[in-house]
Amino acid sequence: MKSRRLTRREFARALRQGRGCAFLHVKEYGDKDKGIKEELLKACLKSLEYDGQLESGRSGWIVDILDRAGDIKYYAEPIKAALEAALSGTGNIPKGDLLHLIHLGSSLFLRGFGEFQSLILQFCTHPEMQDDPLLLAEKLIDIAAYSGFELAVELTASDKVVNWERHWLYEYACSFLADKPEIDQYLAEKAKENQAVATFYKSVIEEEKERKQTQIKTVPSEEFLTLSQIMRAIESEEKPRRYVRSYYRFAKQASIRDLQEIAALIETESDEIKLYYYLYIFTERELPLVSNKVINLLFGPNIELRRVAQNSLSLVTARSVRRIALALMNDSKQRNKVRGINLLKNNFQLDDLKLLQETLTRLKKVDLLHHAAMDALEIARGSEELSLANLLEWIHDATPCSRCRFRAIEILIEKNCAPDQMLYEGQWDTSSNTVDLTRAHIAKRTGGLK
């Protein structure tokens, strides 16, 4: 299949999202088109991850693109300069961008740019790494093998590092340096002359003993509170938040009758704290009674009550909730549009599709678009209508989140209507989940898998 040639604007957007079409553009056409070098350099100097907790980093994907650009030296110099600025304290580089640069520098070292080794090793004394020692640990091993491992071990001497984190570093060394017996022997020898290594190795041994003991122990069953206990917990003088985990467990196992009793209490309760926790139970189970009181809480002055009422009503299928959802989607305020889509999740009808698509396109803030797209994906997954394919394709192209893009492709594949171009480009996405999904699906469809 032919790779698409992107404009500068399309390329910049694809880089920001981490989509395979950016990779394929450089692979097919290089970085010579107007503005492509500039956008790629921006992606080198600044992390484009939407959410670091959802994505596993962009540096490896970016370097793979640089490999196809044909002039990797052009990008290496500014990356080196940015790292030098961070070391000297003149760069004022945000933490996420600094980690991105260090990971890029490590990858460039592995490609023969030897100057990055000494540069990255100097970051052992950088304030960010002193504050969070494990940020640098992997890369020290990657670029300096056993010497890097020793430096990483010394960094973990900080009281900010706990045993399981030291054990994680130990396991990384066992995976990328040598087998466990060799690493154990290395640590035992080094411990004789280096107190930091001795402390590290002792922590690793203690952690392994603790894990073995934990595996032997019988895991006790989680405490399940009855309805009367839940009511006493909420009504007591003590803070109800103490029992939050129990509320979740109760909601999952409660009978319809129990839930009806809780719903009845909501109607008579005036204390806002108690009311919050009674409603909180219905963020796991459907609220049996949609009353004017709960609906009015959606628009009340108490932010926490607004949120918990929203969460509770989003699980409900009811005409009254649907009417509010449609009204909010037509509201001029962007945040209300997102709330409307959330309430539509269990009240969607095919006639709402046009309004849903229009509402999504009117969301300008990235975070609002992301949250609305997640709810729209649930709507699409719950419907058998193939007419929602266009909505899924739009979400795929618009969402800033690689996980949501994966879910859009996954649903399209389930519905057997994923576009060939989307599947082709997904094989070089920044998300390993998307890469695995699309490659497996294409192989299966072409007879490579059974």
What is the tens place of the pLDDT at every residue in 222-232?
557 788 988 88
Sign of CA dihedral 79, 84, 90, 94: positive
Residue 140: pLDDT over 90: yes
pLDDT for position 220: 43
Task: Identify the CA nearest to 315 among candidates 378, 385, 248, 409.
Answer: 378
- Flag whether 19 is in a domain: yes
Q: Which two tokens stand for residue 255?
A: 């009978």
- Flag whether 330 is in a domain: no
pLDDT for position 216: 53
- Flag whether 153 is in a domain: yes
Q: Would you say 39 and 64 are in contact if contact means Cβ atoms under 8 Å apart?
A: no
pLDDT for position 230: 85
Query: SS3 letters for the chain?
Result: CCCCCCCHHHHHHHHHHCCHHHHHHHHHHCCCCCCHHHHHHHHHHCCCCCCCCCCCCCHHHHHHHHHHHCCHHHHHHHHHHHHHHHHHCCCCCCHHHHHHHHHHHHHHHHCCCCHHHHHHHHHHHCHHHHHCCHHHHHHHHHHHHHHHHHHHHHHCCCCCCCHHHHHHHHHHHHHHCCCHHHHHHHHHHHCCCCHHHHHHHHHHHHHHHHHHHHHHCCCCCCCCCCHHHHHHHHHCCCCHHHHHHHHHHHHHHCCHHHHHHHHHHHHHCCCHHHHHHHHHHHHCCCCCCCCHHHHHHCCCCCHHHHHHHHHHHCCCCCHHHHHHHHHHHCCCCHHHHHHHHHHHCCCCCHHHHHHHHHHHHCCCCHHHHHHHHHHHHHHHHCCCCHHHHHHHHHHHHHCCCHHHHHHHHHHHHHCCCCCHHHHHHHCCCCCHHHHHHHHHHHHHHCCCCC
Mean pLDDT computed over every residue of the chain: 92
Euclidean distance between CA atoms 150 and 320, whole angstroms: 64
Q: Which residues contact 143 (CB under 8 A, 6 or more apart)?
A: 106, 109, 110, 116, 117, 120, 121
- Flag whether 332 is in a domain: no
How many domains in the chain?
Answer: 1
- Flag whether 74 is in a domain: yes
If you average pLDDT over residues 226-239, what whole number do you get? 81
Euclidean distance between CA atoms 400 and 165, whole angstroms: 31
Range of the domain at 94: 8-216
Q: What are the pLDDT digits (tens) for 50-62? A: 987 777 789 999 9
The Cβ of residue 420 has, within 10 Å, a number of other Cβ atoms equal to 10
Instruction: Read off the pLDDT band of 1 (50, 70, 90).
Output: confident
pLDDT for position 133: 85
| Phi and psi at residue 285, to the nearest 5° | -130, 155
Euclidean distance between CA atoms 89 and 101, whole angstroms: 15
Q: Would you say 242 and 271 are in contact if contact means Cβ atoms under 8 Å apart?
A: no
Euclidean distance between CA atoms 435 and 420, whole angstroms: 14
Q: Would you say 304 and 275 are in contact if contact means Cβ atoms under 8 Å apart?
A: no
Instruction: Read off the pLDDT band of 450 (50, 70, 90).
Output: very low
Instruction: Read off the pLDDT band of 195 (50, 70, 90).
Output: very high
Task: Report which of residues 45 and 135 the model is more confident about.
Answer: 45
- Least confident interval from 70-84, 200-214, 339-353: 200-214
pLDDT for position 356: 97
